[in-house]
Structure 1
Amino acid sequence: MGRQRGFSLLEVLVAFAILGMSLGILYQAFGSSLRNLSVAGDYTRAMIIAESRLAEAANRMPLEPGSEAGEEESYHWRVRVTPWEDVEDLPKTFKLWLVEAEVSWGTGGHARSYRLSTLRLSDK
């Protein structure tokens, strides 16, 4: 009687176990990549909002101290203009202002924020 060729039940079970573990690892890797891509997209959107609000506030002349806030989609933004006092060599006819824009949002139970700031020179 000839010997039959093929896989035993144990070999098939081991192969399925290895396949299952490999697929689980690949699923985790792709899942974390998609989450990272989503977070990067959120930061990009927040950066665009912060840049536009900062440019809008910094180009107003004359600059005046104060703040304003608002909401755009699920992003909350706040712009603040304050006098900058750390300048000693600046001629008295000019004033330096700190303009800050902060955007905050929450995704997946995590609070995130992005902040930009610039200094602007204006007449007194």
Structure 2
Amino acid sequence: MASIRAQHSSVLPRGSQRGFSLLEMMVAIAILALSLGALYQAVSGATRNVRTAEKYAYGVELARSLLADNTLISTDGVNKRGETGGGFNWAVLSFPRDMPKSSLPRGALHNLEVSVSWQDGLKRRKVVLHSVVGAYGE
């Protein structure tokens, strides 16, 4: 054991330091802080994007559901509006489709527009679906 200590102590000159200096430690901590800040920004941005994507998915599904509920409408058309409990506003509007070269009577087909909008932070988001649906006379 004594021979190992003697060998080890002969390798290092007397008065030399082992380990990191204070400056090296400060630089390492600064780099670590910057890295953690960037990681935090990336995670919070990803979380925000997931939340926005979930709201868009809900908005599209709500619009598709409203479109499916209105595949056949009255020749008078449709003008409905509403709001869900989650803050999604929706509107279903229709108007007769002009078909000058068709044998169908005017109003037999309607252009249907379904829109769903919601507030997402400071931005107002909106999904709009369009379709052509049949109309029946009353």
Distance in 2, matches of 1:29 and 1:91, equals 59
1:105 aligned to 118, 122, 131, which one?
118
Counterpart position of 1:38: 51
CA distances 1:20-45 after superposition (whole Å, capped 9, x unpaired): 11111111111111101100000000
CA distances 1:17-71 after superposition (whole Å, capped 9, x unpaired): 00111111111111111101100000000011111111101234x4431300111
**Alpha-carbon distance change, 122 to 67 in structure 1, aligned in 2, over 3 angstroms:** closer
**Which structure 1 segments of 5+ residues have no match?**
none
Amino acid at match of 1:66: V
Contact 1:100 1:116 in 2 (8 A): yes
Distance in 1, matches of 2:92 and 2:17, equals 79
Distance in 2, matches of 1:100 and 1:91, equals 24
Distance in 1, matches of 2:75 and 2:20, equals 80
Question: How many angstroms does 1:96 deviate by?
Answer: 1.7
Distance in 2, matches of 1:76 and 1:19, equals 45
Q: How many residues align?
A: 122
Question: How many angstroms does 1:123 deviate by?
Answer: 5.5
Percent identity between matched residues is: 34
Q: TM-score, normalised by structure 2?
A: 0.80
Counterpart position of 1:89: 101
1:25-64 equivalence runs, <5 A: 25-60=38-73, 62-64=74-76
Question: How many angstroms does 1:121 deviate by?
Answer: 3.3
Distance in 1, matches of 2:49 and 2:75, equals 39
Distance in 2, matches of 1:117 and 1:7, equals 67
Of Structure 1 and Structure 2, which has the larger fraction of its residues in strand?
1
